Structure 1
Amino acid sequence: MHNQKLGVLDILKKSLLVFGENINFIIFALITSFPLFCFLVYYEFFFQKFLYVTSEALEQSPDYFYYYWHDTFDIARQLNKQIFYEFVQLGFLYLVPLHLLELFFVLVIVDLASKIYEEDKPMSLKDMIRKPVEMARLRGTFVTFVYVTLLSTCTLLGLIWLVTTYYVILRTSSYYVLLAALCGAIFAPLLTLYLALSAEWNMSIVISILEGIYGAEALALSAYFMRGNHRRGLVLMLVFFVWGVSLRLPCFYIGCYKQGYGIVAQISLFCLGNALKWVVLVVYFLDCKTRILEKKVDYEVGIQVKAVDE
């Protein structure tokens, strides 16, 4: 008898149950996420200040862009003069310490969440501490994490460049509404593609931690497991994308980077959502794996029945 395929809401509910029914898991998640939380508070201050400086540089008078619209690299030169070193520093913080801290957090959360979900029983804090991740698996997962970081970073840089270019062009155009609709129609599918790929890339990290398959093989296996399941992955990633944006934008517009309380509250909620996201990815992966294995068994049984009939 086949298990029923989990929908998006079912996956979210089961993931919330992992938190709600295991207070020790919540405590352990808070402890392991504390280094990431502290760094994210510092990083978010720096990042939002960087966004403010960049937006100020882009806010030139319309006449300026009207007379120099043909020089598309002028704005880039201006930004390079003002914030190049800050951009390099921000990029380093994002690529190295931030991702290393997140890798440590993900290793712990994914491993424990899978044990709790599959065994369907709570674990004590002592059991959680006594079950460290194997060193070989840690090294292999690091390789997969590097692959995913490079892929996601390059894609994000492309999307940021696209948004910045559209912003500069649209604000100086007399056909603002028409061009905005056209650019939105182009950007929406690109964002959708990025979110769908994010689900696939993140699943490859889960595969590395739980299955011991790394690098390109983990990415290929993730693509295989997601056949027929891309829509669920897209919707799940959209939920957490909206969660992150809805926390960051209001905080940026009210100037939370000028004071500490808003940033701390934002990062606290973001870390909570980040922990839930990885539990969701564990449940999503295990369900996709179950579906694929059931199809494989059905196929093999069908071949055997056909051979007997012949």
Structure 2
Amino acid sequence: MRGEPLQDDAPGLRGLLARGVLRPNPTLPGAYVPVPLRYLESQLYASALKGLTAMVEGFAQIPALVGELEAEQQAHGHSDEPARSVHLTSVDAVNTETVRTSLGARREILTAQPGFRPPKLLKALLNPHLEPARRGVAVRTIYRTSERSSPSTGQWVATVTEAGAQVRTLGESFPRMIIVDRAHAFFEAFDTEGAVIPQTAWYTQDPAVCQVLALHFYTGWERADPWLPQAQEEPPASTEAHHKTTKTQRTILRSIVAGRSHAQIGKDLGLSERTVTAQVSKLRASLGFTTVPQLTYWWATSPERLLP
């Protein structure tokens, strides 16, 4: 301010020059003059505005950048997002999540229901199947064969099939599950002893788990019998004495049709391979057949395949 020359290393000089507060005195080497305050103010505002503009533009570019990177990662089957799995610990939580997810389905809903569902619950869960089916979503449900005798389940099936859904029944045990678009899956929770924890379920968005469960569903779907209410077959009388097959023989026949060997069937049922072979031979003889293909053809057209 006094017009005295300053050394280049004078404290604060570089900062003042950088901010534009001072400028060299053109008539006195080594001396500096203050910049007019109004001009300085406008320059500081301009500099700050330029910095803010660059920051805002940077913020605006973040979504596009992340989206581009995400598309590239998905194209190579990679994602750093952790798989999300949640243990739903109440019936209300399970129903709320399954209804919400089913109503948002765009391609496919796969449902396996091995147990009886009361009429009140069937009514509550009707729309999450009807609405997607009417939109063209592939809705497929598997019930136990024994459910064919339930009037409330039969009415539910008639309603959803009329909307375009498909229902089949399976006379063997299978786990309860719901898979939506192979991106969401609900399945039973088990304790450390392998027993089902009632009124709870796991919900996952892990794509690998969803794909495996869908594959498991279709394994049962291929073995199941279509349930067409408008032309369904009446099962034989419920007394076992009137049947040509026993429950064990029916389970064996379903497994044979599924391509399993006698050894595999015996392991599944806790029987020896010899016992399974003996059961097949006994049934074949009682029906007057000489070969297993004859037996399996009879089974494919027999109403007894609808029995549990």
Q: What TM-score, normalized by structure 2, do the two folds share?
A: 0.26
User: What is the TM-score when the length of structure 1 is the normalising length?
Assistant: 0.26
The structure with the largest alpha-carbon Rg is 2
- The structure in which a higher percent of residues are helix is 1
